[in-house]
């Protein structure tokens, strides 16, 4: 919740002062650290139903607020977290250097793991067979880039990073299963 509130504050500051470059990055990182610090100092503990209502309220505001107010600053701040998590996972795998001895194929219906469907559609990278990102990004990315020529770099870069994330998740899952 604090992350979303700081994202809105970040959006308002961006609109008023039009920060760019390193100032924008520093402000985004400061808001990330603040949101984690406040959230850890004052954790919100609710039941499942309350969190469902909070999620619905967030979805409503994400749908009706302008892109510059919530989605762009939220995604900008999330990018820093994503980069740090990917870098941490790469360093962790290089340092730990886990071994994996997993079967190549366990079947479409495994007693221990369950069926391959629907998990094949909902795992990392929005599923191995999903087209969800192309559906979502077509409406969001088109509103956030300055030139259509930039979309090739944005789309390709996003898919390369998601592929790296999928490989990292596979390595972590394989190491955890082998342990």
pLDDT score recorded for residue 112: 74
For CA atoms 127, 147, 76, 143, give the dihedral sign. Answer: negative
At 91-111, the pLDDT tens digits run 999 999 888 777 777 777 777
Q: What is the H or E stretch that residue 52 is in?
A: helix 48-64
Where residue 120 falls among pLDDT bands split at 50, 70, 90?
Answer: low
At 39-96, the pLDDT tens digits run 999 999 999 999 999 999 999 999 999 999 999 999 999 999 989 999 999 999 999 9
Using the predicted structure, report yes or no on whether residue 126 has a pLDDT greater than 80: no
CA distances from 98 to 45, 155, 173, 177 (A): 35, 31, 11, 11
E strands in 22-116: 109-110, 114-115
Q: Give 50 or 128, the one with higher predicted confidence.
A: 50
**115 DSSP β-pair partners:** 109
- DSSP letter string, 117-167: TTHHHHSTTT-TT--HHHHHHHHHHHHH-S-TTHHHHHHHHHHHHHHHHHH
The Cα 27–Cα 70 span in angstroms is: 15
Q: Are 109 and 46 in contact (CB under 8 A)?
A: no
| Start-to-end C-alpha separation, the chain | 35
The Cα 88–Cα 81 span in angstroms is: 10
Residues 26-47 have a mean pLDDT of 96
Using the predicted structure, report yes or no on whether residue 129 has a pLDDT greater than 70: no
Q: Which of these ranges, 6-15, 30-39, 53-62, 121-130, has the smallest mean pLDDT?
A: 121-130
pLDDT score recorded for residue 62: 92
Q: What percent of the chain has pLDDT above 70?
A: 85
């Amino acid at each position: 919740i604090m992350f979303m509130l700081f994202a809105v504050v970040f959006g308002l500051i961006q609109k008023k002062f039009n920060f760019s470059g390193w100032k924008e990055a520093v402000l985004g990182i400061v808001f990330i650290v603040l949101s984690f610090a406040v959230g850890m100092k004052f954790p919100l503990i609710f039941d499942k139903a309350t969190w469902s209502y909070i999620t619905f309220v967030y979805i409503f505001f994400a749908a009706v607020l302008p892109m510059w107010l919530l989605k762009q600053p939220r995604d900008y701040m999330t990018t820093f977290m994503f980069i740090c998590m990917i870098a941490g996972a790469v360093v962790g795998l290089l340092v730990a250097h886990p071994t994996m001895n997993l079967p190549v194929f366990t079947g479409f219906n495994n007693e221990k793991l369950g069926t391959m469907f629907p998990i094949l559609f909902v795992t990392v990278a929005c599923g191995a067979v999903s087209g969800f990102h192309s559906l979502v990004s077509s409406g969001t990315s088109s509103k956030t880039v300055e030139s259509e020529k930039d979309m090739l770099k944005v789309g390709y870069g996003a898919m390369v990073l998601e592929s790296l994330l999928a490989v990292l998740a596979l390595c972590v899952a394989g190491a955890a299963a082998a342990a």
